[in-house]
Structure 1
């Protein structure tokens, strides 16, 4: 049974809640009716007005400018023509007086088959499968020897790129492995965006052989990835790898 002292105090609270709820409903209903009335009035006003004329669908004929149109790009200026032609012709030229490198090629470079290119990886079978999946199209290479102790190799690798930007991906892979070798200096290749050149100042040591220093460069443009490798029994200057990388990228 409720306590008489509490019951009177609870009743007014309940009454106030009921009144507040009913007032809210009445206000909401009035707002809805007002909105409907305003909408109906708007339709009536529009119905009394003359229809607005729509603009004509036909457009005025523009006079054609006089004079000749722009001349088409020459084969040398049109990059698409260049990269669809003989890829070997885009390779940097072998220096005059340079001898054959460890991997002999003609003066104008040679083609590398998919199998040949994959054979340069530490795991050729896996590389072959990856290159097929990455839409390898073709590769060209040129090599030479200089100073009696130095070997230079330049590769251009082209991808179909119907599904992915593989050239950029392989360039980035080159950056990763170059950094992974450690003990190197690196520089950005001007005009390439993210192209990089590396000089490794600690030689590879092997019993019975002279110390072997190395430098490398990786960059890409469009569907072509560039790879440069230099090996020497003496430290390789920064200028050597940078100049070669810039000259090769200018041809792309």
Structure 2
């Protein structure tokens, strides 16, 4: 029998452990393993969810569809009788504008002389129209960007030194409303001429007529007064210019502008 010294018998447990360093320590417990029971329970729960979904689908599929409540909107009354007749070519403005644009220009007054500076056929091509501006090259490029389609022009000389010129400029307007922009641009410059009066052209929205009271004076020439009007309808812009060695009245420019716009 192994004899244990008395000092060891009376020593605390911690000291006994120090006195026997070669004694192997007890191994740590291994982590618990997941048993089959947990997997079986999870699998059964999943199958239950799937079975419930399938059963619900089959029950719903056999039921009649539930009718939705009616919309809270009053039923619109249907028109009765024959539909209105389509517009005639004379009434349809777009049909007129797509035809011969020159026929929409005002006719030369009786006794007036046709202006000799106008093209003989009444049409102005892109280059000819751009040449009426101070910088033809720049305007030529701008008109291409602005989808210029065509321009018709008329003009006459009457009453001594009075001249009139009217232009109708049509745009394709695939990307923007260039007829309105062209009219607005001309009005922008007309508004900046000194000593001028202006009036709205009835029935044209933003159409405006101007009378410039300060004449253009050049050495060797008589003073030249001017008036102008700018408006548009649809894809056609109207430009009207009057020049005379005598002051031009409001009645004169307004009469021409109104009659020209009535034809569009």
| TM-score clears 0.5 | yes
Comparing 134-143 with 87-96, which one deviates more in the overlay? 87-96
Say if 1:114 and 1:138, in contact at 8 Å, map to a contact too: yes
1:148 correspondence with 2:160 = yes
- In structure 2, what is the Cα distance between the partners aligned to 1:89 and 1:190? 22
Say if 1:102 and 1:151, in contact at 8 Å, map to a contact too: no
1:219 correspondence with 2:231 = yes
1:53 correspondence with 2:53 = no
Residue number in structure 2 paired with 1:139: 151
Residue number in structure 1 paired with 2:50: none
- In structure 2, what is the Cα distance between the partners aligned to 1:180 and 1:144? 27
Q: How many residues align?
A: 195
Residue number in structure 1 paired with 2:117: 103
- In structure 1, what is the Cα distance between the partners aligned to 2:213 and 2:189? 16
| CA root-mean-square deviation | 2.2
Say if 1:104 and 1:144, in contact at 8 Å, map to a contact too: no
SS of alignment partner, residue 152 of structure 1: strand
Cα 1:53–1:191 shift into 2, 3 Å: same
Normalized per residue, the structure richer in helix is 1
Residue number in structure 1 paired with 2:127: 115
- In structure 2, what is the Cα distance between the partners aligned to 1:76 and 1:89? 12
Say if 1:220 and 1:226, in contact at 8 Å, map to a contact too: yes
Say if 1:211 and 1:233, in contact at 8 Å, map to a contact too: yes
* Equivalent residue for 2:94, pick from 63, 76, 80: 80
Cα displacement (A) at 1:66: 7.1
- In structure 2, what is the Cα distance between the partners aligned to 1:114 and 1:194? 26
1:159 correspondence with 2:171 = yes
Say if 1:105 and 1:143, in contact at 8 Å, map to a contact too: no
Which residues of 2 match residues 236-247 of structure 1 at below 5 A? Answer: 236-247=248-259
1:198 correspondence with 2:210 = yes
Q: Which runs of 5+ in 1 are unaligned?
A: 1-49, 57-63
TM-score when normalising by structure 1: 0.73
- In structure 2, what is the Cα distance between the partners aligned to 1:141 and 1:119? 14
Divergent runs of 4+, >6 A: none
Say if 1:204 and 1:212, in contact at 8 Å, map to a contact too: yes
Q: Which runs of 5+ in 2 are unaligned?
A: 1-62, 70-77
SS of alignment partner, residue 151 of structure 1: strand
1:91 correspondence with 2:105 = yes
For each residue in 1:176-227, what CA deviation from the matched residue of structure 2 results, as whole angstroms up to 9, or x when unmatched? 1111222111001010111000000010000010000000000011111000
- In structure 2, what is the Cα distance between the partners aligned to 1:130 and 1:105? 22
Residue number in structure 1 paired with 2:181: 169
1:248 correspondence with 2:255 = no
TM-score when normalising by structure 2: 0.70
Cα displacement (A) at 1:104: 3.7
